[in-house]
Structure 1
Amino acid sequence: MEQKTRLGSNFAWLVLIGCIGFYAIPVGVVGNTSGIFIKPVMDEFGWSRTTATLYMTIQPWVAAVCTPFAGKILAKYDPRIVLTLSSLAYGLATIWTSFGTSPWVWHVYGVIYGVSCSFFMFLAVPTLVNLWFKKGAGKALGIAGASLSIIAAICAPVGQSMIDSMGWEKTRLIFGIIITVVPVILTLLFVRKSPESMGVAPYGQDEVLAASANGAEVVEGAEVSATRRSPFYFMLILVAGFLVFSAAFFQQIPSFAAAGSLGAGAGAVAVSIIMIGGTIGKFIIGWAADRFGAVVAGIIAGISGALGLTLALVSGSTAILFYVGMVIFGFGYAALGVVPPMLARESFGSKNYTELYSWVATGIFVFSGLAALTYGRIIDATGSFTPAFILVIVLYVLVAVFSPIVAKGGHKLWK
């Protein structure tokens, strides 16, 4: 048993490398750098911004529809094959857009992106981490999220330089090849359905068993039917939705700075600061979730997001205060990949985790699709960024308030 436990512990980290392969690499290389391709495509074909970016609206709504089905598929079939195929589809579709000269190509790409990312973007990593890590799950989720941020931070300037030197088509082709080949290889090599399928123990199981009353593993959690009727489950979906909706506000920060006395330069610096704060925040919030529980991590994230944006809003022309606010906001921005999956596990258990979390992921996609449109409407209607800031601050406060309520109420449903 000791040998199998050691093998399982070691292989859990290889599974995490597989998660980075199908999640952090495609999203970091292409998904989070999509903005650098918009203007070159618009300039070459004479498209409006709406036409050039419509696929970004199509993608989250298609993903929202597909995610519940993706959860069932991942639970029933081998995730190594499912995630390899979804990674392959996304990579090949991205390569296709490098030759796309008509809007319909990009619109279809949005559909393919939405279907494929319903598997790998918000659902698969928490599902696999839940199976392979009996302890250290928060750290594992933090590593996966931080890897994405680091990859995106590198690929954005590199991609822009490549576009300037060789054009957007070749750059997108190269990026497409990278996110096709590397994720497929890493997923096939390292992703496995569960420790049980390999006859090994998950990471940290010895410590969990030693701490249990009878030394036997019991998979606990709420039943699906009871959970879906619970207000605490819907509150969990709101927590996840509020976090992605609020994180999307970082896209408005450069415009906020440029419209005021801080200037466009401060806005550009702020984006980098948020990414740095977010990368550090993923590790710290993941550590807090492991050490103190998901509730404490949720409270830290909610307070950080609210405090950081409050400082930025009242900073006026004081750049230092604005930058400090952006660092703190980065911790709230970082919470999306850690707090919802850990809070779901702490509140409703591991028994039916994949099926229950698929609906949480659906909520994330829905709120993601609403974010940019909502912020644009508020700012256009009021002529000010202040109401949008206040909305996001309130949402972060609600995250901090809802997190302990969800955990306390959800745990009552366990059988």
Structure 2
Amino acid sequence: MTAANDTPRPSLAARAPLLVVLCGCMIAMLSFGPRASSGIFLLPMTSEFGWGRDTFGLAIAIQNLLWGVGTPFAGAIADRFGVTRVLWAGAVLYAAGLMLMAYSATPGLLHLSAGVMVGFGLSGCSFNIVLAAFGKMLPERWRPLSFGAGTAAGSFGQFLFPPLAAGLNTTIGWQETLIVFGFAMLLIMPFSIALASAPPAPKTQERQQSIGEALSEALRHRSYVLLVLGFFTCGFQLAFVTTHLPAYLIDRGLSIQVGGWTLAAIGLANMVGSLGSGWLSSRMPRRYLLAAIYFARGIAIAVFVLLPASPVTALGFGVVLGLLWLSTVPPTSGLVMLMFGTRYLAMLYGFAFFSHQVGGFLGVWLGGLFYEQMGSYDFVWWLSVALSFASAVINLPIVERPVAREPQPAGA
């Protein structure tokens, strides 16, 4: 009787994996929505306070950079203590940053709220932490599709929140919209309970690693370094488009509503693209999938910039780019897990994401800087095209196999 009572109960992920995936997807949707709507607030805030677009762009650039800086540390804490505490802390900081942003009448306050607070908040409660939790908690057969589903859920947040932000801005005002979004981020906390789990015990046949040893091993691994370098372009393009596309479309004679619906089209199409990428990740070499995605992005951006501006071309660009938007995430996270296993997945994917966010910092900041200096975004669009083709080439030499490790010594 005692032995039967001491048998550990199967985890929630083993008993109800679909529930875990659904709760993780809700977190991804909520956390991705407001940051995907940042471009909707660019013109109202710069008009009201007399700032240049470079001032607003720098705040979002700081957000992207600190999101990347904080993610490896948040991942390391989640790897050690579980994800729920990290998600709670991130949600509270994210909500507070959005609410303070509503009252940021100076560049310093804007950079603190939209930049520092939201950036570090995102590092603790974004889809990166969710995907790592999926990789550690779910049965192996659930992982590829769950990576795609979690990424697609973030995309649904991008579909839902920008047009909602555009509509609320014209009805209740941009400040009140930010406060509403801040309260919405607190909903992450109850959903995070389903992702609570004890850190897995290391396999006896593998050498136990410290956090430092795991990071050192990854940074010496050529394929991991190539993967990280290629991911830079993804961040550059996503952050630039998210922040500056609505203003770019207005500059070309379209309305803010077209900008909001174009961002929404990206989010909606990315649901298909992310799920498809997750499915393809288990059926073809991931390096070829990544190279194809980056190459197609370069073509799509070049065509969009060359075509005349209209609602049709804007929405068409949104659909095409959306299919390629976060479709890099499932193969990237899958490659990190394949190379190094799940023990330090959150941290190691977090370092790859840091490269992504360095790209995001430069994409947002350079977009505002070059606009103020040149009066257009053209230079940054074409830089984005060049980076796409470079990343397509960078991903091709990646070797898709687990890192070679010495076995655990007997009796260790």
**What's the TM-score, normalizing by structure 1?**
0.78
Equivalent residue runs for 1:247-262 within 5 Å: 247-251=238-242
Equivalent residue runs for 1:173-322 within 5 Å: 173-180=179-186, 182-187=187-192, 189-194=193-198, 196=200, 223-251=214-242, 264=254, 268=259, 270-313=262-305, 315=307
- Compared with structure 1, are the counterparts of its residues 243 and 46 closer, same or farther at alpha carbon in structure 2 (3 Å cutoff)? closer
In structure 1, C-alpha distance between the alignment counterparts of 2:248 and 2:105, rounded to whole Å: 33
Q: Residue 156 of structure 2 corresponds to which residue in structure 1?
A: 150
- Compared with structure 1, are the counterparts of its residues 249 and 155 closer, same or farther at alpha carbon in structure 2 (3 Å cutoff)? closer
Q: Return the match for 2:327 from 335, 340, 352.
A: 335
In structure 1, C-alpha distance between the alignment counterparts of 2:258 and 2:166, rounded to whole Å: 18
Q: Residue 207 of structure 1 corresponds to which residue in structure 2?
A: none
Equivalent residue runs for 1:85-104 within 5 Å: 85-104=89-108
For 2:196, what is the secondary structure of its paired residue?
Answer: coil
Deviation at 1:87, TM superposition (A): 0.8
Q: Residue 77 of structure 1 corresponds to which residue in structure 2?
A: 81
Q: Return the match for 1:135 from 134, 141, 154.
A: 141
Unaligned runs of 5+ in 2: 1-7, 407-412
2:402 is equivalent to residue 396 of structure 1: no
- Compared with structure 1, are the counterparts of its residues 104 and 400 closer, same or farther at alpha carbon in structure 2 (3 Å cutoff)? closer
Q: Residue 167 of structure 2 corresponds to which residue in structure 1?
A: 161
- Compared with structure 1, are the counterparts of its residues 155 and 376 closer, same or farther at alpha carbon in structure 2 (3 Å cutoff)? closer
- Compared with structure 1, are the counterparts of its residues 100 and 317 closer, same or farther at alpha carbon in structure 2 (3 Å cutoff)? closer
In structure 2, C-alpha distance between the alignment counterparts of 1:97 and 1:316, rounded to whole Å: 35
In structure 2, C-alpha distance between the alignment counterparts of 1:330 and 1:25, rounded to whole Å: 18
In structure 1, C-alpha distance between the alignment counterparts of 2:376 and 2:53, rounded to whole Å: 22
Please say if residues 235 and 356 of structure 2, whose CA atoms lie closer than 8 Å, have aligned partners that are also in contact.
Answer: yes
CA deviation profile, 1:179-204 (whole Å, cap 9, x unmatched): 12x111111x312135859xxxxxxx
In structure 2, C-alpha distance between the alignment counterparts of 1:190 and 1:72, rounded to whole Å: 20
Aligned identity (percent) is 20
- Compared with structure 1, are the counterparts of its residues 255 and 230 closer, same or farther at alpha carbon in structure 2 (3 Å cutoff)? same
Q: Residue 30 of structure 2 corresponds to which residue in structure 1?
A: 25
Please say if residues 63 and 365 of structure 1, whose CA atoms lie closer than 8 Å, have aligned partners that are also in contact.
Answer: yes
Please say if residues 239 and 361 of structure 2, whose CA atoms lie closer than 8 Å, have aligned partners that are also in contact.
Answer: no
Q: Return the match for 2:364 from 372, 381, 405.
A: 372
Please say if residues 40 and 165 of structure 2, whose CA atoms lie closer than 8 Å, have aligned partners that are also in contact.
Answer: yes
**What's the TM-score, normalizing by structure 2?**
0.79
Unaligned runs of 5+ in 1: 198-215
Deviation at 1:369, TM superposition (A): 0.4
Equivalenced residue count is 390
Q: Residue 129 of structure 2 corresponds to which residue in structure 1?
A: 124
Deviation at 1:11, TM superposition (A): 3.2
Q: Return the match for 2:176 from 141, 146, 170.
A: 170
- Compared with structure 1, are the counterparts of its residues 24 and 111 closer, same or farther at alpha carbon in structure 2 (3 Å cutoff)? same
Please say if residues 299 and 400 of structure 1, whose CA atoms lie closer than 8 Å, have aligned partners that are also in contact.
Answer: yes
Q: Residue 38 of structure 2 corresponds to which residue in structure 1?
A: 34
Please say if residues 239 and 340 of structure 1, whose CA atoms lie closer than 8 Å, have aligned partners that are also in contact.
Answer: no
Please say if residues 95 and 182 of structure 2, whose CA atoms lie closer than 8 Å, have aligned partners that are also in contact.
Answer: yes
- Compared with structure 1, are the counterparts of its residues 194 and 406 closer, same or farther at alpha carbon in structure 2 (3 Å cutoff)? farther
Please say if residues 288 and 296 of structure 1, whose CA atoms lie closer than 8 Å, have aligned partners that are also in contact.
Answer: no
- Compared with structure 1, are the counterparts of its residues 163 and 394 closer, same or farther at alpha carbon in structure 2 (3 Å cutoff)? closer
Please say if residues 305 and 396 of structure 1, whose CA atoms lie closer than 8 Å, have aligned partners that are also in contact.
Answer: yes
- Compared with structure 1, are the counterparts of its residues 258 and 414 closer, same or farther at alpha carbon in structure 2 (3 Å cutoff)? farther
In structure 1, C-alpha distance between the alignment counterparts of 2:160 and 2:198, rounded to whole Å: 32
- Compared with structure 1, are the counterparts of its residues 44 and 322 closer, same or farther at alpha carbon in structure 2 (3 Å cutoff)? closer
- Compared with structure 1, are the counterparts of its residues 346 and 390 closer, same or farther at alpha carbon in structure 2 (3 Å cutoff)? farther
Letter in 1 for 2:94: Y
Deviation at 1:397, TM superposition (A): 3.1
Q: Return the match for 1:349 from 324, 341, 353.
A: 341
Q: Residue 60 of structure 2 corresponds to which residue in structure 1?
A: 56
- Compared with structure 1, are the counterparts of its residues 283 and 379 closer, same or farther at alpha carbon in structure 2 (3 Å cutoff)? same
CA RMSD of aligned residues (A): 3.7
Letter in 2 for 1:80: T
Please say if residues 55 and 106 of structure 1, whose CA atoms lie closer than 8 Å, have aligned partners that are also in contact.
Answer: yes
- Compared with structure 1, are the counterparts of its residues 83 and 166 closer, same or farther at alpha carbon in structure 2 (3 Å cutoff)? same
Deviation at 1:103, TM superposition (A): 4.2
In structure 1, C-alpha distance between the alignment counterparts of 2:153 and 2:49, rounded to whole Å: 34
In structure 2, C-alpha distance between the alignment counterparts of 1:385 and 1:86, rounded to whole Å: 33
Please say if residues 294 and 346 of structure 1, whose CA atoms lie closer than 8 Å, have aligned partners that are also in contact.
Answer: no
Letter in 1 for 2:183: I
In structure 2, C-alpha distance between the alignment counterparts of 1:48 and 1:311, rounded to whole Å: 28
Please say if residues 301 and 331 of structure 1, whose CA atoms lie closer than 8 Å, have aligned partners that are also in contact.
Answer: no
